[in-house]
Amino acid sequence: MQSALYVALSAQVALSNRLDTVARNLANMNTVGYRADEVKFSEMLSKAAQDPVSFASTGETFISRQTGGLTRTDNALDVAVEGEGWLAIRVGQDVAYTRDGRMQIDADGVLRTLNGYDVLDAGGLAIQLNPDNGMPNIGRDGSITQGEEQVGAIGLFRIPDDAKLRRYENSAVMPDRPAEPIQEFIQDGVVQGYTETANINPIREMTKLIMLTRAFDAASKMIETSNDSQGLAVRDLGETA
């Protein structure tokens, strides 16, 4: 089989993977705090033939950490994260991290996400409020006050730059390396009454979708041409035999 066919097939696999990430990004463009999927490709060089042949890898998918924009909600239980920090939430026996700062106070006064997960402080403990003392005030450092009394503080965590992230429910992630509590709130902090949008540019993603679709069609055409060429070669060889 001709090398062009292998090259075209490797391109189709890579493009299919990229199309999946773009489709997933577009589906979550309105998900609060969502982080887009990106794909990193590399070149694979085959030396089996007399002349080296380059193939596209299937690509390595990773989660972008680029921040999104802020949307004002004026809801006292909404917070947006500024900087590189993440909110911690308790999911079973594990901890996940999210930029979705929409919260609620349950009947027992525990601060939870809209999906019912405990929001944690810097020590990894659930935050207990008084449900009868009204809406809390939340400072940039995550400190929570009700009336004149500080009743807790939302933890803000930094995930190492080299940590690999895997997705959890909604827009949450789980890193393969421990996150560390943030203790300085100059560049990092929370803003009460706001939420963070997904870091997805829908126009750019639609442009990518069009370009990738065209490239996929071109690869399909290359495979078709290669098959036709091989068929003609076999037929010609059969006639001269």
Phi-psi domain of 157 (left: phi exceeds 0; alpha: psi -120 through 50; beta: other) = beta
**Cβ contact 136:116 at 8 Å:** no
User: Strands 103-105, 111-113: parallel, antiparallel or unpaired by DSSP?
Assistant: antiparallel
**Cβ contact 202:37 at 8 Å:** no
Mean pLDDT of 128-155: 93
d(CA 48, CA 62): 31
Is residue 91 predicted with pLDDT exceeding 60?
A: yes
d(CA 9, CA 220): 8
Q: Categorize the per-residue pLDDT at 45 as very low, low, confident or very high, splitting at 50, 70 and 90.
A: very low
Distance of CA 236 to the CA centre of its chain: 53
Lowest mean pLDDT among 47-56, 114-123, 219-228: 47-56
Three-point CA angle 44, 49, 51, nearest 5°: 80
d(CA 201, CA 198): 8
Three-state SS for 102? Answer: strand
Mean pLDDT of 90-101: 96
Whats the size of the chain, residue-wise?
Answer: 241
Give 31 or 215, the one with higher predicted confidence.
31
Is residue 6 predicted with pLDDT exceeding 60?
A: no
DSSP class per residue in 116-183: SPEEB-TTS-B-B--TTS-SPEE-TT-EEEETTEEEEE--EEE--TT--EEE-STT-EEESS--EE--
Reported as a single tens digit per residue, the pLDDT across 148-196 is 889 999 999 999 999 999 999 889 999 999 999 999 999 999 999 999 9
Give me 101's structure tokens. Answer: 């700062």
Mean pLDDT of 51-67: 71
What per-residue confidence (pLDDT) applies to 47?
A: 47
Give 15 or 27, the one with higher predicted confidence.
27
Chain-wide mean pLDDT for the chain?
84
What per-residue confidence (pLDDT) applies to 172?
A: 96
Give 225 or 96, the one with higher predicted confidence.
96
**Cβ contact 145:136 at 8 Å:** yes
Mean pLDDT of 206-226: 73
Mean pLDDT of 125-143: 94
Give me 48's structure tokens. Answer: 């089996």
What per-residue confidence (pLDDT) applies to 234?
A: 52
What per-residue confidence (pLDDT) applies to 95?
A: 97
Is residue 239 predicted with pLDDT exceeding 60?
A: no
Q: What is the pTM of this model?
A: 0.78
